[in-house]
Amino acid sequence: MTRDPGSRPRPRGVGDEPASDVRADGGWWPSPGVIAAILTVAFLPIRNPTPASGLDSSWQLGLSLVHLHHIPAGPGFVFTYGPLGFLAYPNFVWLPGALLGLLYVVVSTFAFYSLAYRRFLTWLSPIAATVLTAALAMVTTRVISVSEVATAALILWTAALVEPAVLDDAPRAWVVPVLGFAAAFQLLVKFGPGSTALVVAVVVAMARPGRRTNVARLLLSLVLSFLVLWLAAQQSLANIDLWLRESLQLAAGYSAAMATYAGFGGARYWWFWMVAVVVLALGVWGLAREHRARAIPTIVIIGVATWYLTKEGLTRLDQVHVGVAYIFLGALIAAVPWKRRWRPLGIAGLVVSCAAVVATTVGVGYRAQLVNLAEPQHRLGEVGRVIRSAVQPGYRSRELDQARFRLAIQYRMPQRLVNELRNRKVHADPWSITAVWAYGLRWTPAPVFQTYSAYSRALDERNAASLLASSGPDAVVREQGPIRAIGRVPAWESPDYMVALTCDFRMVDQSPRWQILLRGDRHLRSAASDEHAGAPGRSVGDRPRGPRCRRHHRRHVRLSAVAPRTGENDAGQAFGTPARRD
């Protein structure tokens, strides 16, 4: 009989062996590693590695471009993803990042499927565990969020490490340092999941015997791993403090800044969530009844993970984010050791979670989509493309040239506008980084390069200061209109940034979709500046310019008093709430 991989041998009779060891001893059925490998090949959550149009594709490209252009984390850029964020979205534009990203995606996915399968084995037969793990894998490919996949795998592992049956054993010497490394790694990939990984690692260190030693090992591993990984990402140690502070501001401000009233899909998102959470609560209640205080570490881990997934997935209430929440709530249901009479409830909760992903992200065409999801050829093809790009440089160049051609057709930026931006340092406002790349321009972004993410006063001021700095951009390509994908109106984001853009850049040309702004002392002549200025009765020439203009706007502009341009989301609800400053 095999033992818990995270604990030392213990005397006979000290406690029951984990149920997973009994079920996994099986005979003819493949091992968890084999099952996970098959599912990883069939259901690898990997995207097209070439740049594409769209809001998400834009910032995903930016995560690779910051390394290609040697833009440092902290002073140069800050985003919800950190200096290792490129790993979650491999992209051809930076070949080393594409290869490392492919490795990260494969390892994270294999770990998630393997650990989910092992948790199912604690209360299901191998055949039933395989079917439910395959269902979880299938919907995981629909919502591609690899940083959350890696964190979910870590949560499943920590849940196994604090089972009531193993709480009397000190963990093996390598377990806690590995947890510290994983938490540091995830922090540098994406700050939110990394913070959750750190919390569950602390729970394990405190729950197992040798607590002081465990905590000391965890902190030492966390700090050393963070420093080594930070330097490996070619970052300066002097920038750590700034990056941590601003990443914390982004994480803290996300909910208030990005929440969508009533959601794009209505209350049905919450109904699915309530079913999954009720099932989880009943499972936790049964665990507490049986094990009492010994169940506390498991309950804490499930509670922290549920809170994080709810915050991460249901703040925006859009299809992708709620899909992430449903998938990993299903994984948490798998982590509960259900007793025999309660197993149908656990299975029902997981089925509801998977069905919720289908219902909210696929819609009426789900049958055709599920057929596509069940075909591994596409995912293997993307893996093959990344590998081929490493051994055939000409193939990678052709793929990137074709991507530029496709993007140029979609963006339709007139050549005269492109010529205005040649040999200039260009910032994309509010988010069209792919347009800058597609036309071969020199990308020099504001620190929060997706300007709608400047959630705090300090981040707003940092973006504004970057527009005025000599090292900052001297040109801005501005896409007009609201960001309908997330219900935002750029003219009402980042007040200080908009003042700097209005007062210190002048519009030299425009098309129906694009505006070209160059640094200068003339006022921005655009509808957005009129909307932002709050004084539509005054002519452009009468307005203050430069520093005087900035003082004027900071003293007199009251954004909340001006009626914003509004649009409608897919549910017919108005958006465009003006930004407010204290």
State the 10-residue block means of pLDDT for the chain, 582 residues long.
Answer: 44 36 56 92 89 90 95 93 95 95 96 95 91 90 86 95 93 96 97 94 96 96 97 95 92 75 62 90 93 94 92 76 87 90 91 84 45 59 90 92 94 92 93 93 93 87 91 91 66 82 88 89 40 34 50 48 34 33 36
Distances (CA, A) of 419 to 414, 437, 470, 525: 9, 14, 22, 20
Phi, psi torsion values for 184, nearest 5 degrees = -65, -40
Bridge-based pairing of strands 425-429 and 442-443 is parallel
The letter for the amino acid at 12 is R
* 483 and 429 Cβ atoms separated by less than 8 Å: no
Bridge-based pairing of strands 567-568 and 514-519 is unpaired
* 68 and 94 Cβ atoms separated by less than 8 Å: yes
Q: Where are the alpha helices (H) located in 170-295, listed in sequence order?
A: 175-189, 191-207, 211-232, 240-258, 268-291
> Per residue in 482-530, pLDDT tens?
666 566 676 677 888 988 888 889 889 989 899 999 987 443 333 334 3
Q: How many Cα atoms occupy the beta-carbon half-sphere of 113 within 13 Å?
A: 33
CB atoms within 10 A of CB 464: 23
CB atoms within 10 A of CB 402: 11
Taking the chain, what is the end-to-end CA distance rounded to the nearest angstrom?
A: 63
Instruction: Report residue 545 as tokens.
Output: 């310019």
Using DSSP's 3-state secondary structure scheme, residue 271 falls into helix
d(CA 18, CA 123): 10
pLDDT at 370: 45
d(CA 315, CA 326): 13
Using DSSP's 3-state secondary structure scheme, residue 280 falls into helix
pLDDT at 484: 63
pLDDT at 486: 61
Our CA angle for 442, 447, 452, nearest 5°, is 105
d(CA 295, CA 318): 34
* 166 and 6 Cβ atoms separated by less than 8 Å: yes
* 455 and 256 Cβ atoms separated by less than 8 Å: yes
d(CA 490, CA 565): 10
Using DSSP's 3-state secondary structure scheme, residue 446 falls into coil
Percentages (nearest 5) of helix, strand, coil residues in the chain: 65, 5, 30
pLDDT at 213: 96
Residue among 563, 417, 551 at smallest CA distance from 479: 417
What would you report as the CA-atom Rg of the chain, rounded to the nearest whole angstrom? Answer: 25
d(CA 35, CA 136): 13
pLDDT at 568: 35
* 64 and 97 Cβ atoms separated by less than 8 Å: yes
The residue behind tokens 């493949």 is: 30
- pTM for this one? 0.85
Our CA angle for 155, 160, 162, nearest 5°, is 95
List the beta bridge partners of residue 509.
516
Phi, psi torsion values for 356, nearest 5 degrees = -65, -40
| Per-residue H/E/C for 430-444 | CCCHHHHHHCCCEEC
Torsion angle of C-alpha atoms 158, 159, 160, 164, degrees rounded to 10: 120
* 471 and 519 Cβ atoms separated by less than 8 Å: no
d(CA 50, CA 185): 25
Longest dimension (CA), the chain: 88
pLDDT at 430: 87
Residue among 540, 549, 543 at smallest CA distance from 496: 549
Q: What is the CA 269 to chain-centroid distance, rounded?
A: 20
d(CA 151, CA 186): 7
pLDDT at 546: 57
> Per residue in 75-103, pLDDT tens?
999 999 999 999 999 999 999 999 999 99
